[in-house]
């Protein structure tokens, strides 16, 4: 079953949008808002596009309100589970 975890997400964020100076993405960032991690809407769009392709899932309208890695991962994994079930 396909699943996205925090380390996979932070690796993709790094690759798609770089890393803000002074931010430790390997630390406890699960509930840190993306904006505090230095990621703007473009960074999230680029990363989401990448996940959609890599995981063959549609996230249009699904992750838009997810402001933290926690909420984002929940939304993505729900979509992956729903897709698996369908």
CA atoms within 13 A on the CB side of 35: 4
Stretch that binds other proteins, among 1-9, 10-18, 26-34, 70-78 (CB under 8 A): 10-18
Please, which residues have CB within 8 angstroms of residue 65's CB and are 6 or more apart in sequence? 71
DSSP 71: H
Among 4, 9, 16, 63, binds other proteins (CB under 8 A): 16
Decide if residue 52 touches other proteins (CB under 8 A): yes
CA distances from 1 to 8, 13, 83 (A): 15, 22, 10
67 is an interface residue for other proteins by CB under 8 A: no
Largest interatomic CA distance in the chain: 42
Q: Tell whether residue 32 is a contact of other proteins (CB under 8 A).
A: no
Smallest gap, in angstroms, from Cβ of residue 53 to other proteins? 6
Residue numbers of the site for other proteins (CB under 8 A)?
A: 15-21, 38, 40-43, 45-46, 49, 52-53, 60
């Amino acid at each position: 079953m396909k699943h996205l975890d925090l380390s996979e997400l932070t690796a993709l964020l790094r690759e798609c949008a770089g890393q803000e100076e002074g931010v430790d993405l390997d630390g406890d960032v699960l509930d840190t808002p993306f904006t505090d991690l230095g990621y703007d809407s473009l960074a999230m769009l680029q990363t989401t596009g990448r996940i959609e392709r890599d995981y063959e899932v549609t996230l249009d309208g699904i992750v838009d309100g997810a402001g933290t890695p926690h909420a984002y991962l929940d939304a993505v994994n729900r979509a992956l589970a729903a897709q698996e079930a369908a």
